[in-house]
Copies of this chain bind each other. A is one copy, B any other.
Amino acid sequence: MKKSNKSRITVKIYNRSYTIVGEENKEHIDLVANLVDEKMREIRQANQGFDTTRLAVLTAVNVMNDYVKLKEKYNTLQDSIKRDEEN
């Protein structure tokens, strides 16, 4: 049987444990989990009384928003490189 490259890493986010299965190393997963934990606590500051599900969904929305915007910037940068190469 081929050995799988997938690792199982346990992290703590907002006082709850999660097992992350993937091909990333522990350092990367810890970094990502910490960023999510921080963002949830930051959003809670502005939304006292929200339950954890609501906080987690709003965190996901927040990060997705950042992702979509960065993706647009990335595409613009790539297009400008392409244009430069053609000229």
Contacts and interface: CB of A to CB of B under 8 A. Distances in A.
Interface of A: 13-14, 16, 18, 20, 22, 24, 28, 31-33, 35-36, 39-40, 52-54, 56-61, 63-68, 70-71, 73-74, 77-78, 81
Copies of this polypeptide in the complex: 2
A57 B40 CA distance: 9
A32 B53 contact: no
Contact of A61 (B20, B57, B65, B71): B20
B57 A16 contact: yes
A27 to B, nearest CB: 11
21 contacts: A13-B57, A14-B57, A16-B57, A31-B68, A32-B64, A32-B68, A35-B64, A35-B68, A36-B60, A36-B64, A39-B60, A39-B64, A40-B57, A40-B60, A63-B67, A66-B67, A70-B71, A70-B74, A74-B74, A77-B78, A77-B81
